Structure formats: C-alpha cells, structure tokens
Amino acid sequence: MLITFTNPHINLFFQYLQFEKRYSEHTIISYKTDILQFQDFCITSFEVDDITTANAAIVRSWLVQLKENDISSKSINRKISTLKSFYKYLQKQKVVNDNPLSRVISPKVPKRLPNFVEEKDINTLFEHVEFTDDFESQTKRLVLLLFYNTGIRLSELINLQIGQIDESYNQIKVLGKGNKERIIPVNQILLNDIKKVIAQRPETNVNNVFVTEKGKALQPRYVYGFVKQYLSLVTTIKKKSPHVLRHSFATHLMNNGAELNAVKELLGHSSLAATQVYTHNTIEKLKEVFAKAHPKA
C-alpha cells in the first residue's frame, strides 16, 4: 500500500522513523495509516489542512469518533502512540511548541493472557506426529522446532541467513526489531538438524537457511499455514500460529524456573514490561504445586 503526503514535515518524520529509528516497513505502514486517518478527520471535521496545527480538542474529538465507531481500545492506543511520536518529533524539530497528546489519557486495555501449547502437546508434536524424510517435510519439522526451541519471530526465521548459524558456540544470531542483534543458544541436536536441512537445500541463489523446494525464500503465509496445520493435530487452543510457539517457548521457560531477565533477552524484548505477561503462567504453576504438595491445600 503506497501512502504519500504533501506535508514535508510528515515526510521528514517517516524518514526519521526509517533511517534513524530503523523501524520495520510494517510498523511504518501502520504509522502512515494512522496519520492519514487523522489528517482526513482534521480536514473533513475541522477544515484543518495542516495537522501540525491540530490542538488537543481536535485530537480528543477524533478519539471520540473512533470509540463511537467501535474501534478497539488496543487500536486506539496504537493511534495515540503514533500521534505522540509524531508531535514529539515536531517539538524536537521546533515545528510546534506543545504536544497536543500530552494531556490525552489512553483508554485501558483488558489484559489478554498469551495463548500457549501445553508441554505434553509439544511432546506429542515432535515425538508422535510423523514427518517424512523428504526435504519439504523436514524443513517444516525444523521450522516448528526452531520456533519452539528459540522463541524466534516469524520474520526473523524466514530471514535467517546461513552466516547467522554459529556452530563454534552452538548459537544463532538473530536480527530482530529495529535491526537489533541478539544471540540465542541452540543444542547440538537442533544444530545438527539445521546443518542437515541446509545440506539438502536445492540449488538456490539466496543465503536463507529456509527455502522452498524451488530454492525460494519461505513466505510468511506459507509458514503460517503449515504451523496451524500441525498444531491442529495436537492442541485445541483457538489460536494456532508461529507466535503461539513463541509464547509457548517463553511460558515453558518461566514455568521451569527461568529468570525473567533471561527470558527478556532471549525474546529480544526492549523492556521487562513486555515479558512480564508470562509470569501469570508461573503463578498458575505455583498454585498447582501448592495444591499437590501442601497438606492443608
């Protein structure tokens, strides 16, 4: 989707996000969509062509309209975050004196606990579900293993390069959000599986670890499809996706005593707040232990 703006300040803002903040293309498109929607609202509702002159009253009116249109609190908060970043940038560039979002309160979002696959179901997937010896089937098995064993994101996995596999130290180097590199340890068995699939790759001109039978890099929709297919064989949870395996990785680490900071680093989170969502499962585990072990439970 091509979104362009005539306002030079908006275009400079997106150059700032791309080249200085190094945001992903997906994130930038989301920001552009939010700002375009706000710009359209300013023009149609207040006849304000230049959103750099918008005030807090206009912003609040827009948020009220979003709420009346049944836009979720989560989506509204994202749009608030977009505008906050935009006007903060304008302040820094001395284009505006005040940030009209400074007095806007974000709506509360009900906490949603992350979906995850039970350990017993993960064991069923890798110990009892049949994967044939052909290249495609072994690639799918390895993708599933890597999601669960490392907590890697979908975008990180499909872009994983052969040069990021470090055999000397049994680890992989992952390029995450904001082009931040992180190190994830892998055991020798998984490393051998990676080497085996790389050795079986068809002739290709790409350096991606994972390719199709035609030598092309894997596409997100294809990966999402077979992950959902295989998870459907072992679990009845509603959502079945690569990210659910990432949630499972983190949840099982926490339930087996991993420190929160360590899980944060493995996941590539920028703050502990994002990782703390997994502690609820640890609390449930503690209740289970208490119920089984305490004589008065």
- Residues catalogued as catalytic: 153, 177, 243, 246, 269, 278
- Torsion-angle region of 218 (φ positive above 0: left; ψ -120 to 50: alpha; else: beta): beta
By the 8 A CB rule, do 230 and 125 touch?
yes
Residues 6+ positions from 237 with CB-CB distance below 8 Å:
115, 116, 117, 231, 244
Q: How far apart are CA 26 and CA 159, in angstroms?
A: 15
Query: What's the Cα-to-Cα distance from 257 to each of 106, 134, 254, 281, 285, rounded to whole Å?
Result: 34, 37, 5, 11, 10
Q: How far apart are CA 12 and CA 46, in angstroms?
A: 24
Q: Which of 99, 96, 78 is nearest to 27 (CA)?
A: 78
By the 8 A CB rule, do 162 and 262 touch?
no
